[in-house]
Amino acid sequence: MEEPGQLKRAFIDSLAGALAGGISRTVTSPLDVIKIRFQVQLEPTSSWALLQRDMYRPSKYTGILQASKDIFREEGLAGFWRGNVPALLMYMPYTAIQFTVLHKLKTFAAGSSRSEDHLQLSPYLSYVSGALAGCAATIGSYPFDLLRTILASQGEPKIYPNMRSAFFDIIQTRGIRGLYAGLTPTLVEIIPYAGLQFGSYDTFKRWMMAWNRYRNSKLGLYEEDNSASSFQLFLCGFAAGTCAKAVCHPLDVVKKRFQVTLLCPTK
């Protein structure tokens, strides 16, 4: 059993994760919209496609600056935040579920709810815990991820004017199962991504604490507390997220193509 103080801390961590996810999603929405536009545009991918002139269509977006100009010219400033509402509705429960499940799994594996004991877990258990937490969060928030991709991938003219129209059209044409179209490739992506993200974060955090011990011993400061500073934790999170994204980005492209293709409206 977890102590009340630990349960309160887990709740605070989950709430903080949800708020942080919402803020970061809003701030980075323009880059996310541009990323999705690049991922889902069906540009030629082989020399054979180039020979088929009836199949050839030049890519609309060819660079970040050019894409930014086109989106602003055609859709205005609001175009950079297209799909942000479902993104917020996804990321806030996603991060809350993810951190809650991660805390529970690490507590079960370590036999303790203390963060210090969680750091003693083997890297293998850190990766597995992260992957399972990512799966749980993905399943719990997937419909909003689907709606976000559909809305953010739209150019002009828009097919769906808002999240409500997209939601009801999917329900009418494909039923509840339509809200989970593309879930399988998403889980295939999230398992290595979340595993790498949290596993790498724990590994980098251990390395940072080891570096602090080494540095303090060199300076003659034999302190018991060698925990990482806020800036060091930021660096660990940045490095872990970058590594996970770099490795799993191809899977993210496949996921986005599935989400858009499977729900291509037949109007």
Q: What is the dihedral of CA 100, 103, 109, 112, to 10 degrees?
A: -130
Query: Looking at residue 47, what is its pLDDT?
Result: 43
Residue 145 contacts by C-beta under 8 Å, 6 or more apart in sequence?
Answer: 86, 90, 94, 138, 186, 259
Could you give the residue range(s) of every CATH 1.50.40.10 domain in the chain? Answer: 15-41+61-180
Dihedral-angle region of residue 220 (phi above 0 means left; psi in -120 to 50 means alpha; beta otherwise): left
Rounded to the nearest integer, the mean pLDDT of the chain is 79
Residue pLDDT, tens place only, 11-27: 676 677 677 777 887 88
Question: Nearest Cα to 44, choosing from 31, 62, 32?
Answer: 62
Q: Bigger pLDDT: 49 or 229?
A: 229
C-alpha span between 146 and 256 (Å, rounded): 9
Whether the model clears a pTM of 0.85, i.e. scores above it, the answer is: no
Return d(Cα 197, Cα 194) in angstroms, integer.
5
Residue 240, pLDDT > 80, answer yes
Q: What confidence tens digit (pLDDT) does each residue in 172-182 have?
A: 888 888 888 88
Kindly state which CATH superfamily the domain 15-41+61-180 is placed in.
Mitochondrial carrier domain (1.50.40.10)
